[in-house]
């Protein structure tokens, strides 16, 4: 596995690697965990070459504290990737990725004004900026994204369509801790007590799935929100039940679409997201 830190080195390495066949790409912000490794494993199965990027992208953070507190440990990340089947790691600096400010404004319509887009203004524009830059240089055949960031996946698919990019977006399952908590780099910011209590989030989502049809959509939204908020460690920012393609609210269970319950919860100062397909 090779590590490169500049776009020039990346281009040189990619020229050689592309001669081996298809390229699978896993973009990350580091602080890698088993969820990331499962993305890399998926990429390894479907391609001849696997590239992983590690870059905490400042343009997708709308809160400076959140950016500063985001966990970073390149050596630990490289150790985790060592036996994963990854061929090339690209870990650039901010100056390398943004030699000049990126002023591009992407437009995603209503899929970006709800949920994460509503509570983290500018977040998805930053995600689109960095992912489009990475796609442009790496030119992967397939790129792998976790379903935990459900809305991000929808945004990326839309961006690929808008820009006519020749890359297949491959969604990958949410990987969970034994207690059900969705794996996330942010979990390492939780103390032991918070980690235990954060498991209430996924466990409530699993229970909610069993209540579909027994409670109305509105009742279920209230039930989930109240149950999680009754835990003193947790504070729900939103819980919404949405159509999986346009991300707009569902009013009735009878609607003929796939329904996803998406949630953002503060556990202390740490913001966690999760989701569950309800039908």
* Contacts for 179 with CB less than 8 Å, ≥ 6 apart: 195, 196, 199
| Known active-site residue 36 | yes
Does 154 sit near ligand PAF (CB under 6 A)? no
- Exactly one of 13, 28, 129, 151 binds ligand PAF (CB under 6 A); that residue is 28
Instruction: Give every strand in the sheet of 259-267, ordered side by side.
Output: 234-243, 259-267, 270-277
Does 131 sit near ligand PAF (CB under 6 A)? yes
A 10 A CB-CB count for 242 gives 24
Q: Which of 36, 123, 249, 252 is catalytic?
A: 36
Judged by CB under 6 A, the chain residues 50 through 89 that form the site for ligand PAF are 57, 60
Judged by CB under 6 A, the chain residues 158 through 177 that form the site for ligand PAF are none
Per-residue x/- track, 82-121, ligand PAF (CB under 6 A)? ----------------------------------------
CB of 47 to ligand PAF, least distance (A): 18
> Which one of 23-31, 44-52, 158-166, 203-211 is the stretch in contact with ligand PAF (CB under 6 A)?
23-31
Backbone angles phi, psi at 265, to 5 degrees: -140, 135
Taking the C-alpha atoms of residue 13 and residue 86, their distance in angstroms, rounded to an integer, is: 13
Using H for helix, E for strand and C for coil, what is the string for 14-47? Answer: HHHHHHHCCEEEEEECCCCCHHHHHHHHHHHHHC
Binding site for ligand PAF (CB under 6 A): 27-29, 57, 60, 127, 130-131, 149, 152
Residues annotated as catalytic (active site), given as ranges: 36
């Amino acid at each position: 596995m090779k590590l490169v830190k500049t776009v020039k080195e990346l281009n040189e390495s990619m020229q050689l690697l592309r001669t081996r066949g298809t390229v699978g790409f896993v973009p990350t912000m580091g602080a890698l965990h088993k969820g990331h490794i499962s993305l890399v494993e998926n990429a390894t199965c479907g391609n001849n070459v696997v590239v992983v990027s590690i870059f905490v992208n400042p343009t997708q953070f709308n809160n400076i504290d959140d950016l500063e507190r985001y966990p970073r440990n390149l050596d630990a990340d490289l150790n985790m990737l060592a036996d994963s089947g990854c061929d090339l790691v690209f870990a650039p600096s901010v100056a390398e990725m943004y030699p000049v400010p990126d002023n591009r404004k992407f437009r995603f319509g209503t899929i970006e004004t709800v949920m994460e887009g509503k509570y983290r203004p500018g977040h998805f524009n930053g995600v689109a900026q960095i992912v489009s830059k990475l796609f442009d240089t790496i030119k992967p055949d397939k790129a792998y994204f976790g379903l935990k960031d459900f809305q991000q996946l929808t945004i990326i698919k839309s961006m690929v369509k808008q820009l006519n990019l020749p890359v297949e977006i491959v969604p990958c399952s949410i990987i969970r801790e034994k207690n059900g908590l969705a794996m996330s780099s942010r979990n390492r910011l939780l103390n032991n007590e918070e980690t235990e209590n954060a498991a209430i989030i996924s466990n409530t989502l699993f229970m909610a799935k069993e209540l579909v049809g027994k409670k109305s959509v509105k009742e279920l939204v209230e039930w989930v929100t109240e149950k999680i908020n009754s835990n003193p460690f947790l504070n729900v920012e939103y819980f919404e039940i949405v159509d999986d393609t346009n991300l707009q609210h569902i009013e009735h269970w009878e609607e003929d679409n796939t329904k996803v319950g998406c949630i953002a919860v503060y556990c202390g100062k740490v913001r966690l997201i999760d989701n569950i397909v309800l039908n």
